[in-house]
Chains A and B, each alone.
Chain A
Amino acid sequence: AQTVTQSQPEMSVQEAETVTLSCTYDTSESDYYLFWYKQPPSRQMILVIRQEAYKQQNATENRFSVNFQKAAKSFSLKISDSQLGDAAMYFCAFMDSNYQLIWGAGTKLIIKP
């Protein structure tokens, strides 16, 4: 069975600094997608970034970028120039060949002003 592990229940970072959230996954599939979602206190789930497994180039979206290591089955999220609005739960998710999402348990990100 496929699993997604987020080993950091909580992380904190000073405003304007950089933070990296970890995610590892386990699968025997070769073709899949990976996602990071953000869930602020409002509880709405918001897509942050996605990565296609067949692409070697790491995805970037403004201040958000990923470090995708396919052989190591690692998919970390880097947030640069952290802002107060980045405070949220961050979930890593794996999409399998049935287009179903398997979710990690989440990392709570705290931004210190």
Chain B
Amino acid sequence: DGGITQSPKYLFRKEGQNVTLSCEQNLNHDAMYWYRQDPGQGLRLIYYSQIVNDFQKGDIAEGYSVSREKKESFPLTVTSAQKNPTAFYLCASSPQGYQPQHFGDGTRLSIL
């Protein structure tokens, strides 16, 4: 079945550590997105990519980094510069244009 796979489901980060969240899609979508979700808030855009080897900062990119070396993959690294990383992270993809975004099951990141 086509879809978006995020891993791991749960992740713990130690102080000063970088961690990487995986996002893979087999929907052949051009665009991919990373969102952060905090309790009582809507989703906030971290980074997005409309095409391979290109990505743009969203509203809250500080302390995060991404790469888009393959169409189907868009990993997110939470760096030690992100001082409050505890949140639920959602990856999404979509075709180009005014198309709905399809979401993975998310990764919950916590600080040890």
Interface residues of A (CB under 8 A from B): 4, 9, 32-33, 35, 42-47, 50, 52, 91, 93, 95, 99-101, 103-106
Contact = CB atoms under 8 A, between A and B. Distances in A.
A45 B42 contact: no
Nearest to B108: A43
A35 B92 CA distance: 15
Nearest to A97: B98
B106 A44 contact: yes
A101 B43 contact: yes
13 contacts: A4-B42, A33-B98, A43-B88, A43-B106, A91-B42, A99-B31, A99-B97, A101-B45, A101-B101, A103-B43, A105-B41, A106-B40, A106-B41
Contacts of A104: 42
B48 A100 contact: yes
Contacts of A35: 100
